[in-house]
Every structure is written in C-alpha cells, then in structure tokens.
C-alpha cells in the first residue's frame, strides 16, 4: 500500500532529491540547424526572385504576378511548419544540463 505525501499524492519510492532533479531534453535540434530550414529559405528566395524576374511579354501580361508568388510562399511556409511539427513529434535530443522541478 502506498503512503500519501503531504500534498496528498502517493510516494513513488524515490527520494525527494531524486524526484526534484530530472534531466532536461529538447524535442529536436533547433530549426536553424536543420537542412529543411535552408531548403525552405532557398525555395522562398527562388519563388520571389522568379516572380521579380519573369516579367510581362510584348502584350505586357505578367505571367507570374506577385500575388501568385506570395501564395506559393504561403504554401511553402505551411509545408515547413508541418514538417517541423512532424520532426518534433515524439523525438528527443538529450541535453547536458539538469533542471530542478
């Protein structure tokens, strides 16, 4: 039978010092250290440069207008956010420090 602590929670059998110290970990490495971040930035730059370079033809029709370019940048951003979310889902990268709770 477990004994109740002063807070009303059952004791786990570990000492208070052992419970107070836990190892900290991050989900994954920071986003700016991942290759997907650099691919994302390169893709955004490529879309915006392509939109600026591709101009109108003889009849002055813009074949790649800015609103379409920003739509593609938005799609790239959503894709990048989903990929970071999947990367963080359940993976752990241990750190060297410990934190007290």
- 54 in a structural domain: yes
Give the structural domain span for 65: 11-87
Number of structural domains found in the chain: 1
Average pLDDT over residues 60-73: 89
Instruction: Name all contacts of 66-73 with Cβ < 8 Å and 24+ positions apart.
Output: 72/47, 73/44, 73/47, 73/48
- 5 in a structural domain: no
- 95 in a structural domain: no
- 41 in a structural domain: yes
Reported as a single tens digit per residue, the pLDDT across 69-101 is: 999 999 999 999 998 888 777 666 555 555 555
Alpha-carbon distance of 25 to 27, in angstroms, equals: 7
- 99 in a structural domain: no
Reported as a single tens digit per residue, the pLDDT across 23-46 is: 555 556 676 777 888 999 999 999
């Amino acid at each position: 039978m477990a004994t109740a602590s002063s807070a009303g929670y059952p004791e786990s059998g570990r000492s208070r010092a052992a419970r107070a110290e836990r190892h900290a970990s991050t989900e994954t490495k920071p986003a700016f250290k991942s290759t997907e971040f650099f691919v994302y930035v390169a893709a955004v730059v490529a879309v915006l440069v392509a939109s600026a370079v591709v101009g109108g033809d003889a009849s002055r029709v813009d074949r790649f207008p800015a609103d379409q370019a920003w739509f593609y940048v938005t799609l790239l951003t959503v894709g990048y956010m989903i990929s970071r979310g999947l990367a963080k889902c359940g993976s752990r990268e241990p750190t060297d420090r410990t934190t007290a709770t």
